[in-house]
Amino acid sequence: MKNRLPLSKKIKEALIHGGFLVNAVLVILVLLGIFVLLIWTSLPAFEQIPLKEFLFSSNWNPTSYVRESYGMLSMLVSSLLVTLGAMIFAVPISIGAAAFISDLASNRVREIAKPVVEILASIPSVVIGFIGITLIGPSIAKVFDLPDGLNAVNGSILLGIMAMPTIISLTEDALKSVPKSYTEASLALGATKWQTIIRVRIPAASSGIIAATMLGMGRAIGETMTVLMATGCAGAMPNSLFDSVKTMTSVIAIELGEVAYGTAHYYALFVVGLALFLITFAVNLAAEIIFNKKQKR
Amino acid sequence: MKIDINRIKEKIGFMILTACLLLVVLIIIVIFTNILINGYSVINIDFLIKSPTQGMTEGGIMPAIIGTFLVTIITAIFSIPLGMGCAIYLNEYAKQNWFTRLIRISIRNLAGVPSIVYGLFGVVLFVQLMNIGTSVLASGLTLSLMTLPMTITASEEALKNIPMSFREGALALGATKWQAISTNVIPYAIPGMLTGTILGLSRAAGETAPLLFTGVAFYLPYLPKGVFDQFMALPYHLYIMATQHHSIMEVRPIAYGTAMVLVALVFMMNLGAIILRYRLRKNRKE
Amino acid sequence: MIKDPVIEVIDFNFYYGDKRALTDVNVKIEKNSVTGIIGPSGCGKSTFLRSINLMNNLILGARYEGKIMLDGENIIHKDVDVVELRRKVGMVFQKSNPFPKSIFENVAYGLRINGIKNKDLISRRIEESLKGAALWEEVKDRLNASAFDLSGGQQQRLCIARALAVEPDILLMDEPASALDPTATIKIEELIQELKKKYTIIIVTHNMQQAARVSDYTAFFMMGKLIEYNRTNLMFTNPEFKITEDYITGRFG
């Protein structure tokens, strides 16, 4: 029968389809693999160190001669402090910049502004960290009369700068997708353009903006090189934004290179990595849920 | 008068919004001029083609440049086919079901995994389990996984831009699905795919954290002879020069020079992507 | 009425997911004739056309019931070779869709994917096809020019030539002139008259006058059902049903 599909061709097409499928499954495997390997390498740590110590002790001193301790609390607080500081100034500026690009800028300005913001995203984190050491640190020291400017504020400023492109471009998308009818209705009621932006457009885009902020936050928590270079890396619990801090990422970056394979310290660093993974995962998932809710509405 | 107050408020509001964008632009300008002014005087031919000497207080950064090129090429070798393949599956074959959603969720979450966590994963999987050892190959593999989400997203975007009529037209002439995709979709999507991929690779070239434990070295007296050797890399070299060197202030100029070369490299890759896109588009029209 | 059918559609139903788009269609298509399919928007006429070469397979959740017999074989069968089928049943789309290649490569595409490598054969076929589509005289000196340099009407004739190159028996046309100006439309209509000597043509059209001008038989669809099917001259002068008359006299649609 002529019209029946030849087996060879059918097999070939199925093989190609299957090949691409396997390729796509790889993505799931990588994510799963990261999770599983982190757990697998973390587990031996819990044989020697109680989970309670990890979570509730603020003393991280794996190389102590007296008693090694593995409390993650102070580095966790440090990570959150630096990230929070970053968001406090990055979010308003980013929303403002995004609102300018989407609502005020002429087409020509917009077409220049967008790639310029992208350029900021392309600067390597180690270069930003270097700027923190050479430029922002000394400025902070001078302004606040400190011995050096390598502290949480410095890290916050740098992380804020790095989070801006993400927040700006996603906020701009969110503003763009606000229905035109909302804007027109507000303008028709005699509201000024400014009132419309503040009272109608930004609130209508709020879930998108929140999702953008969360994604920017996820980036900031996980950022390594900038905080490693610019926050001074003191291990104690920070008391203020002007204290030197050591974040979770810094701890891993500094210590994994020096630690002997298979020791409690080695496994403990993977516990830190696992915690970091779970935190960013949760933040990203939350962003996604908020974002999807918006789309359904 | 009420209207006037509103007008004034609007003026001030617009000024604030404008200031926000100008601040962002200012930050970029400050970063670039700082690096350009301080780095410019350091860079000369010797700086680019010589190895560090005198305990890295003199000489050039050639091994770091070579190392970064090498690790980026390895990253490209793994991440381009895998990323494009995944994008082809998602855009051409995948049905709307839970499985496809799972893949998409995985991609988005992979994009959010911190680079240092990729580093940890690379240590366990590539360096230890696969027994590759700390090497440029292990670093490249780690970076390729890290760039995968970006490659996939960019490639899928490029495939989406190919009109449905290209596929339908081919299928209606009796092309098999793969014939239609391979002859009438992928060739036109390649420029877009490459553009996005190069942008992803430029990120990889500037990354440090994933290299830290997978193969990058403080200083090597020789260049890597193969993919199983350790290597020096520009971003790591900058980190060392900025924070780890025994006389930091003395090597600050070298650090600035390294920063400038790194920024220039990343920039050239970005520019290359844009030019490539422009060229290929023009060719297609002719 | 039909003496020599090439296509026989028997109790045919089509679903998009749960939604039934075509209901119990029964129709025979006469060989070497032009069959026009008319009906209001969303009546299922395009769906019906795209069932004949199984292009609806591309739609998620597409499902067929019943039979479409082509050369004595039912094509509604999961093992059918859609590739072979589409080679036999060519298609011209509503919006001309030349590929971003040269004129030559557009027409050669169908030959190349069928593994034909002989350059003389390809050149000969391209000339025949372009002549068949009444385009040869206009493009013979610039076969390597981009297909996008052609006018809208020329592009559509190029798409016809592209379909002819693989030597189909049947040609499906989905409102082929709807995006063209009157002059280009007349050219396409003349071409259809020429083509029916060699091919069986099924054409979906929105334009009643066009159906009356070009088709030998007309099928009137409404809400997924085939309401009336007859010789065109009979249907347009003496429709059997009131609703057909209302439609062709322009009272709705």
**Structure tokens that stand for B74 in this block:** 């390895």
Tally the residues of chain C.
253
What pLDDT was estimated at residue B286? 46
CATH classification of the domain holding C122: 3.40.50.300
Among B10, B120, B243, the residue with its CB nearest the CB of A270 is: B120
CB B202 within 8 Å of CB B270: yes
**What's the pLDDT tens digit per position in C10-23?**
999 999 988 899 99
Residue B23 contacts A, CB cutoff 8 Å: yes
Q: How far apart are CA A281 and CA A278, in angstroms?
A: 5
Distance from CA of B119 to the nearest CA of A (A): 9
Residue B20 contacts A, CB cutoff 8 Å: yes
- Partners of residue C85 in chain A, C-beta under 8 Å: 3
Distance from CA of A3 to the nearest CA of C (A): 6
Q: Domains of chain A (ranges plus CATH)?
A: 69-296 (1.10.3720.10)
**Residue C218 scores a pLDDT above 90:** yes
User: From the CB of residue A116, how many other CB atoms can be counted at a distance below 10 Å?
Assistant: 15
Q: List residues bridging with A189 in a β-sheet.
A: none
Residue C113 contacts B, CB cutoff 8 Å: yes
Neighbour order of strands in the sheet with C200-204: C73-74, C62-70, C5-16, C19-30, C225-231, C217-222, C34-38, C200-204, C170-174, C89-92
> CA-CA distances (angstroms) from residue C211 to A262, B207, C29, C35, C219?
82, 65, 15, 8, 10
What pLDDT was estimated at residue A3? 53
Distance from CA of C138 to the nearest CA of A (A): 37
What pLDDT was estimated at residue A1? 37
| Burial group, residue A297, by CB count within 10 angstroms (0-12, 13-18, 19+) | exposed
Each residue's pLDDT, cut to its tens digit, for chain A (297 residues) gives 345 667 787 888 899 999 999 999 999 999 999 999 999 999 998 888 888 888 888 788 787 777 788 888 889 999 999 999 999 999 999 999 999 999 998 889 988 888 888 888 889 999 999 999 999 999 998 998 888 888 889 999 999 999 999 999 999 999 998 988 888 888 888 888 888 998 899 999 998 999 999 999 999 999 999 999 998 877 778 888 888 888 999 999 988 888 888 888 899 999 999 999 999 999 998 988 888 776 555
**What's the pLDDT tens digit per position in B10-37?**
889 999 999 999 999 999 999 999 999 9
Q: How many domains are contained in chain C? A: 1
Listed in order, strand segments (DSSP E) in chain A are 60-61, 69-70
Looking at chain C from residue 42 to 101, which residues have their Cβ under 8 Å from any Cβ of chain A?
70-71, 73, 75, 79-85
Nearest chain B residue (CA) to C101: B284
What pLDDT was estimated at residue B279? 75
Identify the CATH number of the domain defined by range B45-285: 1.10.3720.10
The DSSP line for B127-151 is IIIS---SSHHHHHHHHHHHHHHHH
Nearest chain B residue (CA) to A23: B86
What pLDDT was estimated at residue B281? 66
Which H or E run contains C82? helix C82-88
Q: What pTM did the predictor assign?
A: 0.86
**Structure tokens that stand for B99 in this block:** 């499985």
CB contact under 8 A, A249 and B109: no
Q: How far apart are CA A146 and CA A135, in angstroms?
A: 15
Confidence of residue C253 (pLDDT cuts 50, 70, 90): low
**What's the pLDDT tens digit per position in B137-178?**
999 999 999 999 999 999 999 999 899 999 999 999 989 899
- Partners of residue B10 in chain A, C-beta under 8 Å: 192-195
CB contact under 8 A, C113 and B171: no
Percent above pLDDT 90 for chain A: 48
Phi-psi region of C39 (alpha: psi -120 to 50; beta: other; left: phi over 0): left
Q: Which positions ≥6 away from A273 have C-beta within 8 Å?
A: A38, A42, A252, B116, B117, B120
CB contact under 8 A, C99 and B163: no
Domain region containing C241: 5-248
Which H or E run contains A115? helix A107-122
Helices (H) and strands (E) in chain C, counts: 10, 10
CB contact under 8 A, A33 and B121: yes
What pLDDT was estimated at residue A294? 63
Looking at chain B from residue 204 to 223, which residues have their Cβ under 8 Å from any Cβ of chain A?
205-209, 212-213
CB contact under 8 A, A5 and C85: no
> CA-CA distances (angstroms) from residue C107 to A185, B69, C124, C136, C157?
53, 44, 11, 12, 11
User: From the CB of residue C209, how many other CB atoms can be counted at a distance below 10 Å?
Assistant: 11
Q: Which positions ≥6 away from C63 have C-beta within 8 Å?
A: C14, C15, C17
Sketch the domain layout of chain B as residue ranges: 5-42, 45-285
The answer to the question of residue C253 being in a domain is: no
